[in-house]
Amino acid sequence: MWGRSIISRVGKLLSPEARTALINAGIALHMPSRRRFFRRIERLIRTDAIPCVIAGGYAYDAKRGRITRPHKDVDMLALEEDRDAIIAAFEAAGLRVKAKRSTRLVVTDRVWCWGDVFLFRDVGGGLAEIEGSDYNKIIMRVPRDVLVRRQQGRIGDRELPIPCDDYFYCMAPFIANEDDQAFCRGLPHSPSLRLHTRPAPEHPGYTLYEWGYDPVDQTTGALISEPKPEASGARG
């Protein structure tokens, strides 16, 4: 980890362009190690049944069926209730695990190889949420079912456990890479999935982005419209 610390300190002395070039050079230099690390993570999740899935850029590429660009790290998705089991499993495999915040674990094996495990907390009512950083000040809340459902993606000859398409659709507004964002927006998803935005009452200054499923007629599959309130004073 000390190498990344040095890079961070040196980077503060450079222009944004030079800093980006330095980071990209480091990523390119250690890309073979990163690929081996990713395959190790993927194998642990698949064979040791670690309760998380591959997310982020690797997952979008696994959904596409091919690698579109180098990835600097590997993102994973899990439920907070599985936190202890995840830490124990990765540590048993010889990896280091550090809690960056209550909603994020960092898994490493060497200076330039790391992965982030993002933990969603069950908040009841069939929903789970994750708190963003102090920088973006958002709370993301999604149906727990979106986190639990999985599918198999593929990169080359390897199958990868990744989230369902509804999860990708929920994440699309917050994906920085424009190609990934457009790809996730275009995936088939439940037509009843709706986003509601409002201030987060438990987190002053934060915005709550809450996804939910609108009610659907179980026979026809059509959305059930909410009844409109009668106008006050309406004549009988």
Reading the chain (236 residues) residue by residue, the pLDDT tens digits are 445 555 556 556 678 777 767 666 666 555 667 778 888 888 888 887 789 999 999 999 999 999 898 887 899 999 999 999 999 999 999 899 999 888 999 998 865 678 999 999 999 999 999 988 666 789 999 999 999 999 999 988 888 899 999 999 999 988 989 999 999 999 999 989 999 999 998 888 899 999 999 864 444 444 444 444 444 444 43
**Greatest CA separation found in the chain?**
78
Contact 102, 112 (CB under 8 A): no
Nearest 5°: phi and psi at 24?
Answer: -65, -35
CA distance 103 to 157: 32
Assigned token pair, 233: 């004073």
User: Which residue's entry shows tokens 């990708």?
Assistant: 168
CA angle 174, 180, 184 (to 5 degrees): 75
Assigned token pair, 2: 């000390």
Contact 134, 143 (CB under 8 A): no
Which domains, ranges and CATH numbers included, belong to the chain?
2-213 (3.30.460.40)
Query: Could you say which DSSP state residue 200 is in?
Result: -
The three-state secondary structure class of 222 is: coil
Tell me the whole-structure pTM to 2 decimals.
Answer: 0.77
The beta strand positions in the chain, using DSSP E, are 53-55, 74-79, 96-101, 104-110, 113-124, 127-131, 138-143, 150-155, 158-163, 193-199, 207-213
Q: How many CB atoms lie within 10 A of CB 53?
A: 23
Assigned token pair, 135: 């920088």
